Chain A
Amino acid sequence: MLYREAGQFKTTYAADQQLFPIRQDRIGIAILLAVVFVGVPLAAETPAIAGAIDFNYWFSGVLIPFLIFSLAALGLNILTGYAGQLSLGTAAFMAVGAFRVPGVPMLASFILAGVVAALIGIVFGLPSLRIKGFYLAVATLAAQFFVVWALTKFGWLSNYSSSGVITAQKLVVFGYAVDTPVKRYLLVLAIVSVMALAAKNMVRSSIGRAWMAVRDMDVAAEVVGIPMMKTKLLAFAISSFYCGVAGALYAFAYLGTVEPAGFELDLSFRILFMIIVGGVGSILGSFLGAAFIVLLPIFMDLSAASIERSFGFALPAGLVSNLTLILFGALIIFFLVVEPLGLARLWQIAKEKLRLWPFPH
């Protein structure tokens, strides 16, 4: 393998508990951040490269949705993967975030979106104190339907627009207009990176450990003195906060409009699929899953187009979308059967194998 952690001894508790305990990992993350923050925008600005690749499409069609869905998947993963509470209402919490208060500065309004979503999340998380499993899933479904209904029905939530559709305001951060795809990409990227690091930090802290204890065995967790109510509600609140911010970004940086119909149950399922495919209970998994679920339909469309081009006949309408549906379903079952911990686990296995390679014993 490229690197081993041999020789890196931890002498303090802080060193043992840091986010990236291996030096090569830290360097890797730094390089990754440098590439996505500086390299990609620079490449997009360089005429020679920008001429070859359609960066506008890549930013607004692939990278921005990928980052936003990663954030939503991260939120759901905190709730389902770490705290063990299944939620089918992710899209509802995103919808709450998307309907923002006018007249508040942009970044503050994103935070506000998250806070409001967190409050709603606490309300709909209350049943989790009495029920679990499917019953809880149904409770979150109630959130899904109720929130979408409320956003359609109450005029003051949608600025009294007749169809419930609002055109999103222009993105302005500290008086700086975010109007090109590159700028939007950077804004989303910055928010997502900060929140992902915060999540990674959170799950190794006492809160995260309490969540995992509740997930693994709630009675035992209570016996060792973990306050059940606080832990569960906190999971709902923080998960909804992430989803709310993701929803606000989804509406303002990706779609450009806000309409309740965009936050149907289907979206909740897609985000659930992301964490199943990517890895339940893994920060990295949220990103891998989001990438997979965002890229798969694009890949299907592209391959269908190339088949049509090379064989010179038109595929029947709806074939590709139905095939994508079938593929999604099959993949979910495949991952649940073969690798319940998803792509993140595969990555981990690959790393462990490579660590010993080429001498496996």
Chain B
Amino acid sequence: MQFFFEVLIGGLLAGVMYSLVALGFVLIYKASGVFNFAQGAMVFFAALTTVGFMSMGAPFWLAVALALLAMVALAFFTERVVLRPLVNQPQITLFMATIGLTFFIEGIAQLTWGAQVHALDLGIADEPIEWLMRNTGMNISKFDLVASGIAAALVAVLAVFFNKTRTGRALRAVADDHQAALAVGISLQRIWVIVWIVAGFVALVTGLLWGARNGVQFALTFLALKALPVLILGGFESIAGAVVGGLIVGASEKLAEVYIGPHVGGGIESWFPYVLALAFLLVRPEGLFGERRIDRV
């Protein structure tokens, strides 16, 4: 039983990280209806830029600030080059365009900073918490706990931003209805830039946390793929859904790996979330918190 809880908590903490990636997707999808496949590449790009500036001798905070600046530039670039010309196109076209964007960002990132794996030290030790180890015998990493704390803070900040600020309300208005938002004088293009900047910021945080964990490397881009089942479980439009979906995916894939994995040869982590998401789709196509759409297929 104790082992079960250890696996469960480990999975939940990993799930927090998935939620962070999914959060970036949700932000952009809500505001522009674009399914941004490039989120994983943005995570990679942001982390690599930070590490790159640090290796050039910049202090950590300056490097983060410069990386954020790069993400802002990327947001403007994307809006101008990809989103604006493709306005009013079918969603699937925009989706394919973001696949193109993914390759573009990956190429730029590796061209600028090289392709080798970089270590990133955030100053948080990745070691078990001692008193928890002593009292319950469970092995929970301090780093994971801090990471989930940061994630929770990020979600809280985003919630305040969306609900209390003028810009946040404008974002929600755009998400609800593009034309109505235009009619009351909200500039769509400005909103898109802002939402891509926010998604870039989320990507930066994600990239730093994942990068500190596993090293800043190309594999970070595959995060985007793990976020897809999270989105299906949680719903494309819901921040809460991204968080809950991430937790479910994280916990279930770890539990499945431990309890089902040995019977079928192991390594099922790579596809289990997808099959879970597919099974879920058949029952509830709009996800846990998504908007219900009446849509004949």
Binding site for B on A (CB under 8 A): 86, 127-135, 137-139, 141-142, 145-146, 149, 152-154, 218-219, 222, 228, 265, 269, 272-273, 276, 318-319, 322-333, 336-337, 340
A317 to B91, CA, bound (A): 37
In the assembled complex, which residues on chain B have CB atoms less than 8 Å from the CB atom of A137?
A: 95
Residue pair A323, B111 in contact (C-beta under 8 Å): yes
A14 to B96, CA, bound (A): 39
Nearest-Cβ distance from residue A58 to partner chain B, whole angstroms? 27
Cβ-defined partner of A142 (8 Å) among B85, B114, B115, B277: B277
Count of residues in B whose CB is under 8 Å from the partner chain = 48
Residue pair A133, B91 in contact (C-beta under 8 Å): yes
A69 to B89, CA, bound (A): 28
User: Quick check: is B155 within 8 A (CB to CB) of the other chain?
Assistant: no
Contact flags B70-110 to A (C-beta < 8 A → 1, else 0): 00000000000110011001011101110111111111101
A228 to B296, CA, bound (A): 11
A138 to B115, CA, bound (A): 28
User: Quick check: is B44 within 8 A (CB to CB) of the other chain?
Assistant: no
A251 to B38, CA, bound (A): 31
Residue pair A326, B107 in contact (C-beta under 8 Å): yes
Nearest-Cβ distance from residue A212 to partner chain B, whole angstroms? 15
User: Quick check: is B128 within 8 A (CB to CB) of the other chain?
Assistant: no
Known contacts A127-B281, A131-B281; A141/B228 CB under 8 A: yes
Residue pair B104, A329 in contact (C-beta under 8 Å): yes
Residue pair A146, B274 in contact (C-beta under 8 Å): yes
Contact flags B266-297 to A (C-beta < 8 A → 1, else 0): 11101100110110011001000000000011
A340 to B86, CA, bound (A): 10
B-side interface mostly: helix
A-side interface mostly: helix
Nearest-Cβ distance from residue B290 to partner chain A, whole angstroms? 11
In the assembled complex, which residues on chain B have CB atoms less than 8 Å from the CB atom of A322?
A: 107-108, 110-111, 115
In the assembled complex, which residues on chain A have CB atoms less than 8 Å from the CB atom of B275?
A: 142, 146
Residue pair A336, B104 in contact (C-beta under 8 Å): no
Residue pair A340, B107 in contact (C-beta under 8 Å): no
Cβ-defined partner of B100 (8 Å) among A146, A228, A330: A330
Nearest-Cβ distance from residue B80 to partner chain A, whole angstroms? 11
Residue pair B107, A329 in contact (C-beta under 8 Å): yes
Known contacts A133-B91, A322-B110; A336/B271 CB under 8 A: no
In the assembled complex, which residues on chain B have CB atoms less than 8 Å from the CB atom of A269?
A: 99, 103
Nearest-Cβ distance from residue B86 to partner chain A, whole angstroms? 6
Residue pair B106, A325 in contact (C-beta under 8 Å): yes
In the assembled complex, which residues on chain B have CB atoms less than 8 Å from the CB atom of A228?
A: 297
Other than the known A133-B91, A323-B107, what 20 A-B pairs have Cβ atoms closer than 8 Å?
A129-B297, A130-B281, A134-B91, A134-B92, A138-B231, A138-B277, A142-B271, A145-B274, A276-B96, A318-B114, A325-B107, A326-B107, A326-B108, A327-B107, A328-B104, A329-B102, A329-B103, A329-B105, A336-B93, A340-B93
Known contacts A149-B267, A326-B103; A336/B108 CB under 8 A: no
User: Quick check: is B35 within 8 A (CB to CB) of the other chain?
Assistant: yes
User: Quick check: is B185 within 8 A (CB to CB) of the other chain?
Assistant: no
A–B pairs, 7, beta carbons within 8 Å: A86-B92, A145-B274, A153-B266, A318-B110, A325-B104, A329-B106, A336-B96
Residue pair A337, B278 in contact (C-beta under 8 Å): no
Residue pair A336, B278 in contact (C-beta under 8 Å): no
Among B106, B225, B229, B297, residue most surrounded by chain A Cβ atoms (within 10 Å) = B297
A345 to B108, CA, bound (A): 30
In the assembled complex, which residues on chain A have CB atoms less than 8 Å from the CB atom of B296?
A: 218-219, 222
User: Quick check: is B1 within 8 A (CB to CB) of the other chain?
Assistant: no
A4 to B103, CA, bound (A): 42
User: Quick check: is B183 within 8 A (CB to CB) of the other chain?
Assistant: no
